[in-house]
Each structure stands twice: as C-alpha cells, then as structure tokens.
Structure 1
Amino acid sequence: MELRFLLKQLILPPGGLLLLILLAWLCWSSRPRLALLLLLLGLGGLWLMSLPVVVEQAARVLEREPALAEAQWASLAQRGEVIVVLGSGREEADPAWGSDQPSVTAIERLRYAARLHRASGLPVLISGGLHYGEPPSEAGLMADALQRDFGVATRWREERSRTTWENAQFSAELLREQGIRRVVLVTQAAHMPRSRWCFERAGLEVVAAPLGFLGVANARPLGGWLPEGKALWQSTRLLNEALGQVVYPLLYR
C-alpha cells in the first residue's frame, strides 16, 4: 500500500479524530488539561462531521460548478469531443457478482455518462488505474459495467492513473494522439473544481458535467441535526476535496 494512502487513512476522519482521542487517553494522567482538549476535539469532530446539516453547508462551499440542464445535453456535441469519466474506487470480490465491481460512486458517474452519450453521441473515455496496485483497473471494471449494464461502449481506457492529477495527464496523452482537446468531464460535484484544474493544466478545454450534489436540502429529521454514519462518510470525502484544492497547487505546477 502506498504511503500516501496510509497517511490519508490516519489523517482523515475517522482516523485522525480517533488518534486525538487515543492521545487524550495516553496523556490523561500527566497533562489532564491537554487531554481534555484533545478529547473534546476528537469527540466534537466526530459529532460535527456526522451531521447531515454540516455536510450540506460544507458542500455548498465546495460545489462551485453548476449542473448541466437536460436541455443542454444534446448540444454537448458542439462544445466537447469526448466524455471523460473519472474512476472512483471499487468494491472487492462481491459474491453476488463473482468479481470486483465499480463503487457506488463510480456507477453514478457511469449512469450519468450513459445519458450524456445517448443525448450527444460523443464517445467515452474512462480513466482509472489499479486499486492499491491490484488488477483489474478501475477503467476496465467501469468499461465492462458501462457496456453490460448501460449498453454503451467505451472508446478509450486510461488504466495507469492513481490520482486525479494522473487522470488528467494520462488522459490528455491519449486524447492528444487523436487530436482531441475539448472534453466533457464527469465526476462528483465536490470533486469537479480540482478535476477541472488538473485537466486544464494538462492542456484540455473542459465542459464540466458534475453530479452527486450534496449541498442540497438534506430532508433529514430535525433539519439534519441528528448524527448518522452516512454523513460522516460524506464529510470525509468533502474534507478530502478541501485539502486537495489546497495541496494540489503546491504539488503540481
């Protein structure tokens, strides 16, 4: 497993918050005030990040690209030359399917890409490499699902990337060979700003096609002030995006 994946697991919730609670326990007898502060930060962070209302408000800050209106789908053929779908992990060895499968998030992207393809007629490129270095690639899994479940063929597969930056760089290499410079980019709304930045740095013109908006009315009991596990997972993804938007410009030029 790559070091960066391990660090993400330790830093992002719940790992980082659980580490604060562990540190509080370790220094409780020697530095009780510091221990109490760490405990409050750890437990308070877990509570806040498990609230749907926090997810909603945080997403509104990150989801800066507007959704495409359905009336715009057909005109994508004039604005772009290819639909690029970014990988989003996989579920391993599901007995119901007998093999690894694209994640729920990846399936959402494929479904949307299939709709855009049928409306515009644009070909599809899927970008996603090996998951923790193990085959098959995300692009391969997604291309199979796109064909079998949605009846749409994938023109190109980019199977080397491990990050959003590499999604852009390696996809751009493939597309430049075909003389293509304008892409319709499909990914989650919160992920779109970082993805657009990467693809534009790779020399491509981007038409954003975001989906999976979280900054909408959450329709939860008590206005979203009751904790739930799903919100904690969503908060972690949003925090990952917020950190990525800060770190990527420092790592990549």
Structure 2
Amino acid sequence: MLRAGWARIHYMIQECPQSPGRKRRGKVPLRYLIKQLVLPPGGLLLLLLLAWWWRRRRPRLARACAVLGLGGLWLLSLPVVVEHGARLLEREPALLVNEWPTLAQRAEAIVVLGGGRERGDPAWGGDQPSLLALERARLASRLHWASGLPILVSGGLHFGEPPSEAELFAEVLAEDFGVTVRWLEGRSRTTWENARLSAPLLRDAGVRRIVLVTQAWHMPRARWCFERMGFEVVPAPMGFLGVANGRPFGGWLPEALSVWQSSQLLNEAAGLLLYPLLYR
C-alpha cells in the first residue's frame, strides 16, 4: 500500500528540468503542475500566498509563512548556497582527460542521458537540445573520439510531442560533433526509465559495463538506476556546481540563476530519497 502510494505520487511528479514548451491535454500537464507547486520556488510562493490570505484571520501563522517563504527564496538565490549544497550531491570525481584513451579497457559503451529540449528555436528552425544536453553531448563526443566506444542516447518525449530527446541529441552529435550514435532509446521520461529502457538495447549487444555521462549533481541517482539494472558504471560527470562560485562578496548576493540551480539540487535530493522507496 505504502509503496503503491509513493509510486502514484511519483508518477504524477516526474522530473522535467527543461522548459515545458507546449503541452498536450491529459495527465502530463497535471503532473507538471503538481511538481511546480510542490518543489521550490513554487512551494515557497504558495507560502507567501498563504501569508497574504491569513494576514488578518491568523496573523501569527501568516508571519511564519511570510518568513519561511521569503527566507527560502533568499537562500535559493544565493550562489554560496548552491555551491555548498551541490557538494553534498556531487560525490563522483571528474573523469580525468588522461583516463579517456583507456576507457575501452573499463567499459563497452558510453551512455548519455537526455537533458531536455528547447521548443521551436527560430535560429535552428525547430526544437533543439537544452544547454544541459549540449554540455553532455560535448563530453560524450570527446570520450567517443578518445576511446572509440559506441554511444547510446536515452531520452523520450516530453509532454508526448515528438521529436524525442534522443533524436535531437543524435542529430546534434552527428552534425556538430561528427559522431554517429549506435543506439537510440526514445521512450523514457525519468531517470529510472532511462536505465530500464536502455538496458535491453545494451544487453542485446553484450554490454555490461558503461561510461555514464550526465551532470555531476544528477550522477548519484543516474548511477544508482543503472547499477540496479545490473550494469557496472564508470561515472563521467560534468557541469559541477560545487566549485568555488567566484562571485563578489563570496556569493552572498542573490542571483536569478541560483534559484534555478537550487531547484535542480532540491529535485535531485528528493529523487535520491524517493527512488529507493519506489524502485527495488
């Protein structure tokens, strides 16, 4: 019962780190709406709304909601909070450049997880991979040319609309980096589905050891998922946030970018807590 309940909640609040674009009718918009309302900054904005609503009937409770809402938004906006929060999640060290040529001795394939898409970019005449995805594509291509390992790209349809992340990713790898993708997995919507749906493609090719490419803060959950599928994982993280922020005043001045980064870190922390309960 408990596990079924968690599974239902998880189905309704699946991860969508990129901009939503157009949405089809049905369950997906509801899932997106619930996630946006529960996770910061949406939850903190709801606290501020409650503070305004209760300002006369329950002034003490209203003040508490206002303090929590404003304080939470301020913390989310600080680069120094992002820096130290990311260090709690970014457990895997970077794969050093001098290790790249020998990767074929440690793995049989490179697996790259889709990182979202941007809708209808006029400069390119259509949808494009997000900046997160392009960062992954760059590292994956460099690892491919250094090691000779084939690449699998995993990423499905967001809000049910084609093309899939995997198709966009493969196009960018081919046209911008000169890399031909060996396998495409284009149905997954979550990190768990990335692993579950990629597993048959890899097993059929005799692959048991993989180099996994994703952002450093996403790597713990991604690695856990692929290891649950029985793969030996060589982590290849990038996009570290837990490094010196280099901002004036030590990163104690608020920035809009930090709000988004903090939200991603909180999403990952929630995923690390929920996934072992949902997937055994």
Calculate the TM-score normalised by the size of structure 2.
0.89
Q: Residue in 1 aligned with 2:160?
A: 133
Asked if residue 156 in structure 1 is aligned to residue 183 in structure 2, the reply is yes
Q: State the SS of the aligned residue for 1:166.
A: helix
Asked if residue 100 in structure 1 is aligned to residue 134 in structure 2, the reply is no
Distance 2:234 2:166 in 1: 21
Task: State, as a whole percentage, how many aligned pairs show the same letter.
Answer: 70
Q: Residue in 2 aligned with 1:11?
A: 38
Q: Residue in 2 aligned with 1:182?
A: 209
Q: Residue in 2 aligned with 1:172?
A: 199
Asked if residue 147 in structure 1 is aligned to residue 174 in structure 2, the reply is yes
Deviation of the 1:179 alpha carbon? 1.3
Asked if residue 196 in structure 1 is aligned to residue 223 in structure 2, the reply is yes
Deviation of the 1:4 alpha carbon? 3.2
Which amino acid letter does the alignment assign opposite residue 142 of structure 2? R
Q: Which moved further from structure 2: 5-14 or 233-242?
A: 5-14
Distance 1:147 1:12 in 2: 36
Which amino acid letter does the alignment assign opposite residue 70 of structure 1? V
The counterpart of 1:123, out of the listed 143, 150, 153, is 150
Distance 1:204 1:88 in 2: 21
Deviation of the 1:145 alpha carbon? 0.5
Give the paired residue count: 253
Q: Residue in 2 aligned with 1:38?
A: 65
Deviation of the 1:246 alpha carbon? 0.1
For structure 1, list consecutive stretches of 5 or more residues without a partner in the other structure.
none
Q: State the SS of the aligned residue for 1:216.
A: coil
Distance 2:120 2:207 in 1: 36
Which amino acid letter does the alignment assign opposite residue 183 of structure 2? W
Distance 1:33 1:52 in 2: 31
Deviation of the 1:5 alpha carbon? 2.5
Which amino acid letter does the alignment assign opposite residue 13 of structure 1? P
Distance 1:177 1:113 in 2: 22
Distance 1:95 1:204 in 2: 40
Asked if residue 227 in structure 1 is aligned to residue 259 in structure 2, the reply is no
Q: Residue in 2 aligned with 1:238?
A: 265
Q: State the SS of the aligned residue for 2:243.
A: coil
Deviation of the 1:245 alpha carbon? 0.2
Deviations along 1:56-79, one digit per CA (max 9) or x if unpaired, are 000011100110111000111110
Q: Residue in 2 aligned with 1:65?
A: 92
Q: Residue in 1 aligned with 2:113?
A: 86
Distance 1:132 1:9 in 2: 15
Which amino acid letter does the alignment assign opposite residue 109 of structure 1? R
Runs of 4 or more off by more than 6 Å in structure 1? none
The counterpart of 1:77, out of the listed 94, 104, 113, is 104
Deviation of the 1:131 alpha carbon? 1.1
For structure 2, list consecutive stretches of 5 or more residues without a partner in the other structure.
1-26
Q: Residue in 1 aligned with 2:83?
A: 56
Distance 1:90 1:171 in 2: 20
Which amino acid letter does the alignment assign opposite residue 261 of structure 2? Q
Calculate the TM-score normalised by the size of structure 1.
0.99
